[in-house]
Amino acid sequence: MLIDAERKAERESIALIEAYKKVEKHVYRKIERERADMQDRPIKAHLDMEEELNQKILDLQSELLEIELKL
């Protein structure tokens, strides 16, 4: 029974991490597109996107901890 719970927790953790990676990849691609579009102009700070990723990291950590605590 515990082995099944561990496997389920591992699958859930992997799914959460993969979802975060997907969001992170899209944010970084957006930044790269904006940098390419603004080659001759000053690069703006991407603080809003950085804050979005930081929040996603905190959410991910919280969700992973919840999964761990279920075991």
pLDDT of residue 33: 86
pLDDT of residue 20: 94
Residue 37, CA atoms < 13 Å, CB-side half-sphere:
7
Helix (H) or strand (E) holding 29: helix 2-37
The span from the CA of 59 to the CA of 53, in Å, is 10
pLDDT of residue 39: 75
Q: Where is average pLDDT lowest: 8-17, 43-52, 60-69?
A: 43-52
The string of pLDDT tens digits covering residues 10-43 is: 999 999 999 999 999 998 898 888 878 877 666 6
pLDDT of residue 55: 93
pLDDT of residue 36: 81
